[in-house]
Amino acid sequence: MKNLFFLIIGVFIIIWSFYVVWHKPSPYLGEGAGEVSIEGKTFKVEIADNDIERAKGLSGREFLAQGHGILFIFPQPGVYGFWMKDMNFSIDIVWLDEDLKVVGIEQNVGPETFPQTFYPPVHIKYVVEVNAGEL
């Protein structure tokens, strides 16, 4: 009887382990994740909708998986600057107005551009960052 109990517990742990591994979220996509389509391409994005998340952005990461990005959401339209502080790879910056219309793209922005700041051509409410060359 004792062996049967341990066998059942062992099988449960193995099944639970497979569930956890196969349902594990992408390494950088947290609870605020979604999808955006830009120029006919769809990207899985994490959402940066508060000051802390927007300030951190993609800084400090070693890479960004292909087809992934980050969507910055600002409380109101404005001219928000972006720089490459603590970045390790090049990105494309997509500027979107409050109607989610692309109003500009800054392509192939590399870490070596820091401390240069990049600004949208007009007031924007959203910004998407993806790997350079994916657009």
pLDDT confidence band for 1 (50 / 70 / 90) = low
Per-chain mean pLDDT for the chain: 85
* Cα 110 to Cα 78: distance, rounded to the nearest angstrom: 24
For 28-56, how does the pLDDT look when each residue is reduced to its tens digit (9 = 90+)? Answer: 444 467 899 998 999 999 999 999 999 99
The gap between the terminal CA atoms of the chain, to the nearest Å, is 61
pLDDT confidence band for 21 (50 / 70 / 90) = very low
Asked whether residue 59 is domain-assigned, the answer is yes
Asked whether residue 16 is domain-assigned, the answer is no
Asked whether residue 44 is domain-assigned, the answer is yes
Which residue, 110, 26, 127, 113, is CA-closest to 74? 127
Structural domains of the chain, count: 1
Asked whether residue 68 is domain-assigned, the answer is yes
For 104-134, how does the pLDDT look when each residue is reduced to its tens digit (9 = 90+)? Answer: 999 999 999 999 999 999 999 999 999 999 9
Asked whether residue 4 is domain-assigned, the answer is no
Reduced to 3 states (helix: H, G, I; strand: E, B; else coil), residue 103 is: strand
Residue 81 phi/psi, 5-degree rounding, is -90, 145
Chain-centre distance of CA 36, in angstroms? Answer: 11
Asked whether residue 17 is domain-assigned, the answer is no
- For 80-106, what is the mean pLDDT? 95
Strand order in the sheet with 91-96: 33-38, 41-48, 68-78, 124-131, 91-96, 102-109
DSSP annotation of 24: P
* Domain of residue 95, CATH code: 2.60.120.1140
Q: Per DSSP, what are the bridge partners of residue 38?
A: 41
Asked whether residue 23 is domain-assigned, the answer is no
Asked whether residue 21 is domain-assigned, the answer is no
Range of the domain at 50: 28-131
